[in-house]
Chain A
Amino acid sequence: QVQLVESGGGVIQPGGSLRLSCAASGFTFSSCGMHWVRQPPGKGLEWVAFIQYDGNDKYYAGSVKGRFTISRDNSKNTLYLQMNSLRAEDTAVYYCAGIAVSVDFDYWGQGMLVTVSS
Chain B
Amino acid sequence: DVVMTQSPLSLPVTLGQPASISCRSSQSLVHSDGNTYLNWFQQRPGQSPRRLISKVSNRDSGVPDRFSGSGSGTDFTLKISRVEAEDVGVYYCMQGKQWPWTFGQGTKVEIK
Residues of A within 8 A of B (CB): 35, 37, 44-47, 50, 59-62, 95, 97, 99, 101-102, 104, 106, 108-111
Contacts and interface: CB of A to CB of B under 8 A. Distances in A.
Q: Which 10 A-B pairs have the closest CB atoms?
A: A106-B51, A59-B99, A108-B48, A47-B101, A44-B106, A101-B96, A45-B103, A61-B100, A101-B37, A104-B61
Residue of B49, B61, B94, B103 most packed against chain A (CB within 10 A):
B49
B86 interface: no
Interface of B: 1, 35, 37, 39, 41, 43, 48-51, 54-55, 58, 60-61, 90, 92, 94, 96, 99-106
Contacts of B60: 104, 106
A5 B51 CA distance: 18
A61 B103 CA distance: 12
B51 to A, nearest CB: 4
Contacts of A102: 35, 54-55
A48 B106 CA distance: 17
B49 A95 contact: yes
A73 B84 CA distance: 42
Contacts of A47: 94, 100-103
